[in-house]
Amino acid sequence: MKISAILLVAGAALLAFTAAEESSPNERQLSGRGKSKSNHDSSSSDSSGDGCADPAQAILDLFDCFEAEDVPCVVAGYAPGFETYHNENLAATDLQFTEEFWTLSLLVLDFDFDVKFYKNLGSNQATVRYVQTVTTTDGVSVGAPSSTEYPFSYVRHQHEHVIATLNDDCQVEKWDQYGDNQEQNDVFDATNAVICVIGASGLPIEECDVTPPDEPEVAQ
């Protein structure tokens, strides 16, 4: 999501990679997977100045945006300068979360959310428990041949619980999630490996760490 530091790494690296490639005569084409719909219907996004009427629904709507790879919808779901935490550790907040950032992030990662429980905690706060399934690109979206070999097509399930604070416009201001660190690290490592293998990290390909986790889950 990511919502977590995983997307920060993916987006930042790909932004730098794209900028470098645009100045090169051998420009690489990044073929988009994002659907970028602009008509996402969110019944909880309206505000009358009395707070967000249904923050839990706003979060579920945001999950839908990620699953649909609807970049404008994702951008609209976050307040400027929002903060995200994992197990009370603050992730990087010095990036510009623009449409370009999210577009490039979603070239690397796909998301699916299986919501187990959700509840409003107040007019501007909600809690949600869910299993997030993260799948790395098969390579095609970033200009590489299709592959099911790690780090491509890698699948990891992340069991997460979030307490989210939203503003009166039902945009996320603070995303405070809790979950298993190993689940986070596995996706973090796979994302870094993808970025390295496609040449976006600045390292020689032979120096990329493409060692899979002990029991990798690979998309069929």
Determine, yes or no, domain membership for 212: yes
How buried is residue 190: exposed, middle or buried, by Cβ count under 10 Å (0-12/13-18/19+)?
buried
- Identify the CA nearest to 31 among candidates 91, 102, 103: 103
Tell me the β-bridge partners of 157: 133
Of 22-36, 133-147, 192-206, where does mean pLDDT reach its minimum? 22-36
Query: 88: which DSSP letter?
Result: T
Cα–Cα distance for residue pair 76/10, rounded to 1 Å: 20
Q: What is the DSSP string of 90-110?
A: EPP--S---HHHHHHHHHHEE
- In whole angstroms, what is the distance from residue 172 CA to residue 60 CA? 12
Whether residue 63 is contained in a domain is answered as yes
Residue with tokens 């979060």: 59
Within-domain flag for 29: no
> Taking 50 as the threshold, does the pLDDT of residue 174 lie above it?
yes
pLDDT digits over 8-40, tens only?
556 555 555 544 444 444 433 333 333 333 333
pLDDT at 27: 38
Distance, CA of 174 to CA of 81 (rounded, Å): 9
| Cα–Cα–Cα angle for 124, 125, 131, rounded to 5 degrees | 140
Position 4 confidence tier, pLDDT thresholds 50, 70, 90: very low
In 48-205, where does DSSP find H-type helix? 55-67, 71-76, 99-108, 181-197
Query: What's the number of domains the chain is made of?
Result: 1
Name the pairing type of β-strands 109-122 and 154-166: unpaired
Q: What percent of the chain has pLDDT over 90?
A: 60
pTM listed for this prediction: 0.78
Residue 161 lies in a domain: yes
We report the CATH number of the domain holding residue 109 as: 3.10.450.50
- Structural domain harbouring 70: 5-24+34-218
How would you label 104-131 residue by residue, b for 16+ Cβ within 10 Å and e otherwise? bbbbbbbbebeeeebebeeebbbbbbbe
pLDDT for position 203: 84
pLDDT value of residue 73: 97
Q: What is the pLDDT of residue 127?
A: 98
